[in-house]
Amino acid sequence: MPHAAPSLRELEHHDAFLARHIGPNEAEIARMLEVVGQPSLDALTDAIVPASIRLDAPLDLPAPLDEHEALARIRALANRNKIFRSFIGQGYYGTRTPNVVLRNILENPAWYTAYTPYQAEISQGRMEALINFQTMVADLTGMDIANASLLDEATAAAEAMTLAKRAAKSKSDTFFVSERVHPQTLEVLRTRAAGLGIALQVGPDEDAAQADSFGVLLQYPDTYGRVRDHAGLAEAVHARGALLAVSADLLALALIEAPGAWGADIVVGNSQRFGVPFGFGGPHAAFLACRDAFKRSMPGRLIGVSVDSQGQPAYRLTLQTREQHIRREKATSNICTAQVLLAVMAGMYAVYHGPEGLKRIAARTHRLTALLAAALRGAGVAVGEDFFDTLHVTGIDAGAIHARAREAGINLRAIDDESVGISLDETATRDDVIALAGLFGAAIDDLDALDAATPDALPAALRRRTPYLQHPVFNTYHSEHELLRYMRALADKDLALDRTMIPLGSCTMKLNATAEMIPITWPEFANIHPLAPADQTEGYRELIDGLERMLAECTGYDAVSLQPNSGAQGEFAGLLAIRAWHASRGESHRDVCLIPESAHGTNPASAQMCGMRVVVVKCDRDGNVDVEDLRAQAAKHADRLAALMITYPSTHGVFEEAVVEICEIVHAHGGQVYTDGANMNALVGVAKPGKWGSDVSHLNLHKTFCIPHGGGGPGVGPCAVKAHLAPFLPSSAPLPPPAGEGARRADGGERPAGAVGMVSAARFGSASILPISWMYIVMMGAAGLKRATQVALLNANYVAKRLAPHYPTLYTGRSGLVAHECILDLRPLKDATGISAEDVAKRLIDFGFHAPTLSFPVAGTLMVEPTESESLAELDRFVEAMIQIREEIRAIEDGRLDREDNPLKHAPHTAAAVTASEWTRAYPRELAAFPLPSLKKQKYWPPVGRVDNVHGDKHVMCACIPIEAFKDEAAEA
C-alpha cells in the first residue's frame, strides 16, 4: 500500500552535502536560468561547452556520502596511521602548536579563507602577521630582509641557488653543495639545477673554499647535527666572487650565532618547528632571507611598509607584484601560491613565546640532547660532538636498534647499516631521553645528576651574541588573553570568505566546508613524520591513492603525482615530464614552449626553469588562441617544438571551440600539450582534458578542490599525465644519503637514466591538507561535481548578464555566454571619466566586498569568478554594489560628481576619515560610508585608506614598523 508520507529517499536527500556546497537552491537556479535565457542547466552547459569535448557519461566515482558518513570514513583511514614518537629529524621536528594559535588561526576561517593580499587595504591583518614572520626570520638569521614565504626548505635552497646565480660576481656555472645538507634538499637541487644548466658539485664543506663555483650551500647545523664555524670558509667563498647560502634551523639560531653574523649572503630554511605539525611532510612555511643588496631579485612574496592616503603606515606586497602580473619570461622564479597560513602560525609562535621563550625552548631541547649524548657516551656509543639537537650515533648495528625502537613506539633516522640519527625537539621529555638511551643499552639512573655533570655541547665560539626579537610585538602578547585579542584584532582588519564573496577570476574562491577542514588537525594526520615507515602510514597511503584515482577520473589522465605543493610547481613537474619524455626518445633538443599571450605568468616562468625557450602565440580579437598563428609557430619551430601550454577554458573566460584542433596541430609537429588546469572548476564532470588530446595538466586543489587559500597558501598542485608520461612524474624518494661519517652510498648517486627527481622536499608534498580535497570529492560524488560545475557556469553568466547594461563583458563564447568567469571591461569608462578599474576595486571595499581580479589577464579590466558556492542573494548584493558604482561613474560623466574629488578616487573610506571633525570632500559623508542603505546594518570599515604603491617600492621597508612611526596617530588618539 502506498502511503502519503514522503519516501525515505526524499527525506535523506536534504541531508546531502551538495545542497550546502552549492549556493543557489532549485528555485533560485530556475530564476537565474531565466535571466540568462536558458531552459535548464544542461542546456546552458551545451550552449557553453563545445560538443567536441563534452562528456556523455558521468564520472566514475563512488556514491556521495553525507558529512557524517564521510567523516566516519576518513576517521577509519586516520586510525590506520600510527603515531610513533619520531626523532627522525632531517628537517622535520616535533613541535607544540600553541592551542590558542591552533584554534584561532589554523582552525579559524577568518584566517584560512582569506585570499592573497593583493588588495592591501583589506589585508592589513594578515600582512602584519606576515611582517612579524619576516622580522622573526631576519632577526634569527641575522639577515637584512626575509620573504614570506617559500614552499619548503629544499625548494627554498633551489631559489637560493638561482638568486646566487643572478647576484654573484663569479661567472662560473657550478654550484657547490655540502654533502652534509639534508638529502631531500640535495635531491631537489639536482632536479632544479638540471633544468637550468647549472652543474652541482657535491663534497665536504672544506672543499667549498677551493671550488670554482658561483655559490655554495651549507647546512647549519648540518644534517648529521654538527655545528661548525664557517667564518673562514665564508671569506674564501667571497674572495672568489661567489655567494654563500646557508640552510639553517630557526630554533638552533636561538642559541648559536646567526649566519648573517659570520658571512652568509642568503639564508633559507623551514619554520615548521615553530608550531606547525609534521603533517607527513607539509605544508610548512619555508623562508629565504638575504642581504639588502639582493632584495630586488628575491623570489617569492615580500610584505613591506608604505603609507596610506592619510600618511599613516600601511602594509602592502612590495616590489614584486609579480604573481599574476608575474614578469613572465623575466621572472626570477615561478613562486605564486606560497605558505602564508603556516607563516602566520610560525610568526605567532614567536609572538607567543618571545625571545626568552624561544631561547628556553632551544636550551631545553639542547640540554636533553646533551644528556642523551652523555648517557650514550657513558655506554661506549659514539655520538659526535658540537651539536644542537641531533646526534649521529655511529658504530652500531642499526638494524637491531631500529627494531628495538619500533618495539618501543619510537622512530629514529635511518642513515646506513652502522649509524642512526636522533633529533630531539620541543616535545621531548625526560622519559624520552631515558627510553632513547635504553635502546642502546645505556641506563640513566638519575637524570638530574647527569644534568649537573654534563656541559652544553655547542662550540663556545658560536654562542649567539646577536640579539633577536626585540620589537614590542614579540614582547607584549605573552598572556593568552593578550594574544587572543591581538589575533582577533588582526583578523578583524581583513575581509575573508567568512564575511564576503571574493569574486576572484582564476582563483576559484569557493566554499571551504568545515567538514572538509576538520580532519587536517587530527593527530593521526598532523603528527606523522614524512619519513615514518610505511607500516605507520597506511591510512595516508590509502587516502593518497584514492585521491589520485579520483583526480585521474575527473581529468581523464592516467597517473597523478601529488608531490607539487603549488600550481606552479605542478607546471614545473609537468614540463619536466615532457622534457624527459622527449629525451627518452632521443629528442632532448626539443626545447621550444609555445605559450599564448593571455597565459598566467607562472607558465612562462616554469618553462624557463626547465630550460625551455618561450615563444608567444597571439590571441585573436575574441580572446581565443589565434589558431593560424599557432599553426605558423608550430611549423616554424617543428624541429625543436617541445610543448604548448594552454589554459582551458582560457584565462579570457571562454571555452575555445578549436581546442581539439589545437592539440592536433601541436602533436603533428612533435610537441606535447600542457593544459593549465587552474580553470578546472569549469570542467569537472563536463569535459576531461586527458580525453580531448592534452597530455599533461596541473590542478590547483586550492582552487577547484576546496583547499582554502590561507591568505596566499598553502596549495597543492598535482601533476596529472597520460600513460606515456607516467614514468617521468617526480620521483618519490631522495637518493641514498651522500657519504657522511661512516655512511656508504648505495649507488653512484644517480637515478636511472631519464627519470625525473623530486620537485618538493616531501614525497607527497603538502600531504596533511589532502583530506580536504578527498572529503570534497567523496561528499559531492559524480553528479554533485557536475552540478557544481554547471552552477559555477550559471553564476558567472548570471553576473555577466545582470551587469551587461552597465559594464560590457570583454569576451564571450559561441552563444554569447561566458565560462565560469567573466571579464568586465572598464577601459571605456576610464577614457570617459578617468575612473580606473583600480578605483572601482577600491570603491568595492566601501561596500564590504573584496575586489575581483584586477587587470589580469587584460589591463584595465576586472575578472569576476563567483563560483558555485555563492547564493543568489550574495550575487545580487555584488551586482547591486557594482550598479551603484556605475551610477557614481555616471554622475561623474554628467558632472554631478567632481572628476577628481569623488568617492571612487578617494576610496576606500576609513571610519577616521568619514567621522573627522572636518570634512572637505565635494561629496557627502553618507555617500562615502553608506552608498547603499543596507550598509547601515552591516558595515566593514577598512583600517587604512588607499595604500601608496609607488612610495612602498621606492622606500623598501620589510620589517615590523618601529613604534615611533605610530607616534602621530597615538598623539591624536
Ligand X SMILES: *Cc1c(COP(=O)(O)O)cnc(C)c1O
The nearer residue to ligand X, 770 or 835, going by C-beta atoms, is: 770
Give the closest residue to 346 by CA, choosing from 116, 130, 115.
130
SS3 content of the chain, % helix, strand, coil (to 5): 45, 15, 45
Stretch that binds ligand X, among 31-39, 195-203, 401-409, 560-568 (CB under 6 A): 560-568
Could you tell me how many residues of this chain bind ligand X (CB under 6 A)? 15
Q: What angle do CA 129, 104, 135 make, to 5 degrees?
A: 20
If you count DSSP H runs as helices and E runs as strands, how many of each does the chain have, helices first?
33, 23
**Binders in 56-75 for ligand X, by CB under 6 A:** none
Do β-strands 672-677 and 696-699 pair in parallel, antiparallel, or remain unpaired?
A: parallel
Q: Which residues of 279-302 are buried (b: 16+ CB within 10 A; e: fewer)?
A: bbbbbbbbbbbbbeebbeebbbbb
Strand pairing class (592-596; 303-307): unpaired
Q: Which of 191, 272, 651, 681 lies at the binding interface for ligand X (CB under 6 A)?
A: 651
* Smallest gap from residue 645 Cβ to ligand X (A): 9
List Cβ neighbours of 645 (8 Å cut-off, separation of 6 or more).
Answer: 571, 575, 593, 594, 595, 596, 599, 603, 607, 674, 675, 676
Q: How far is the CB of 283 from ligand X (least distance, A)?
A: 12
By CB under 6 A, residue 575 contacts ligand X: no
Question: Which residue, 678 or 780, has its beta carbon nearer to ligand X?
Answer: 678
Q: Which residue in the set 604, 623, 715, 784 belongs to the binding site for ligand X (CB under 6 A)?
A: 715
In the bound complex, what is the minimum distance in angstroms from residue 321's beta carbon to ligand X? 14
Q: Answer whether 224's CB lies under 8 Å from 740's CB.
A: yes
Taking the CA atoms of residue 148, residue 149, residue 154 and residue 159 in that order, the dihedral angle to the nearest 10 degrees is: -70
Q: Is residue 598 near ligand X by the rule CB under 6 A?
A: no
Closer to ligand X by CB, 671 or 715: give it. Answer: 715
Q: Which is nearer to ligand X, 126 or 402 (CB)?
A: 126
Residue nearer to ligand X on the CB measure, 454 or 700: 700
Distance of CA 129 to the CA centre of its chain: 16
The least CB distance from residue 355 to ligand X, in Å, is 34
CA distance 60 to 71: 21
Measured from the CB atom, is 536 or 566 closer to ligand X? 566
Residue (600 or 637) nearer to ligand X, CB: 600
Q: Which of 881, 953, 307, 715 is nearest to 862 (CA)?
A: 881
123 lines the binding site for ligand X (CB under 6 A): no
Q: Minimum CB separation from ligand X for residue 337, in Å?
A: 3
Nearer to ligand X, 149 or 647 (CB): 647
The reply to whether 642 sits near ligand X by the rule CB under 6 A is: no
CB atoms within 10 A of CB 919: 12
676 part of the interface to ligand X, by CB under 6 A: yes
Between 527 and 768, CB nearer to ligand X: 768
Residue from 306, 566, 672, 675 touching ligand X (CB under 6 A): that is 566
Q: How far is residue 362's CA from residue 598's CA, in Å, rounded to a whole number? A: 49
**Contacting range for ligand X; rule: CB under 6 A; set: 296-304, 563-571, 780-788, 871-879:** 563-571
Q: Among positive and negative, which fits the CA dihedral 584, 589, 590, 592?
A: positive
Residue 600 sits in the site that holds ligand X (CB under 6 A): yes
> Residue number with the shortest CB distance to ligand X?
567
Residue 820 within binding range of ligand X, rule CB under 6 A: no
Contact residue for ligand X among 436, 568, 851, 889 (CB under 6 A):
568
Query: Among 318, 602, 681, 812, which residue sits at the site for ligand X (rule: CB under 6 A)?
Result: 602
Q: Which of 298, 673, 678, 687 binds ligand X (CB under 6 A)?
A: 678
Per CB under 6 A, contacts with ligand X among 462-521 are 506
d(CA 674, CA 201) in angstroms, rounded, equals 33
Residue 704 or 812 with smaller CB distance to ligand X? 704
Residue 759 binds to ligand X (criterion: CB under 6 A): no
**Binding span for ligand X by CB under 6 A among 349-357, 451-459, 562-570, 827-835:** 562-570
Any bridge partners for residue 314, and if so which? 306
Nearer to ligand X, 496 or 605 (CB): 605
Our CB check for ligand X shows the closer of 410 and 770 to be: 770
Nearest distance, CB of residue 812 and ligand X, angstroms: 19
Which residue in the set 157, 285, 336, 412 belongs to the binding site for ligand X (CB under 6 A)? 336
Q: How far is the CB of 322 from ligand X (least distance, A)?
A: 11
User: Is residue 904 within 8 Å of residue 839, measured between CB atoms?
Assistant: yes
Q: Does the footprint of ligand X cover residue 567 (CB under 6 A)?
A: yes
Residue with C-alpha cell 635511518? 414
The 3-class SS string of 382-412 reads ECCCCECCEEEEECCCHHHHHHHHHHCCEEE
CB of 946 to ligand X, least distance (A): 26
Among 147, 337, 731, 853, binds ligand X (CB under 6 A): 337
- Contact residue for ligand X among 647, 773, 833, 902 (CB under 6 A): 647
Q: Which is nearer to ligand X, 640 or 652 (CB)?
A: 652
Q: Name the residue nearer to ligand X (CB basis): 425 or 865.
A: 865
Strand, helix or coil at 506? Answer: coil
Instruction: Find all residues with CB under 8 Å of 511, minimum gap 6, and list them.
Output: 20, 21, 497, 706, 867, 869
Q: How far apart are CA 309 and CA 305, in angstroms?
A: 13
Cα–Cα dist 167/67, whole Å:
52
Q: Report if residue 717 touches ligand X, rule: CB under 6 A.
A: yes
Quick one: which segment of 9-17, 123-131, 345-353, 566-574 binds ligand X (CB under 6 A)? 566-574
Footprint on residues 687-706 left by ligand X (CB under 6 A)? 700
Residue indicated by cell numbers 592619510: 310
**CB-based contact 180:224 (threshold 8 Å):** yes
Grid coordinates given for 595: 605559450
Q: In angstroms, give the least distance from the CB of 397 to ligand X.
A: 46
* Residue 353 binds ligand X, judged by CB under 6 A: no
Q: How far apart are CA 600 and CA 646, in angstroms?
A: 10
Q: Which stretches of the chain bind ligand X, using CB under 6 A?
A: 336-337, 506, 566-568, 600, 602, 647, 651, 676, 678, 700, 715, 717
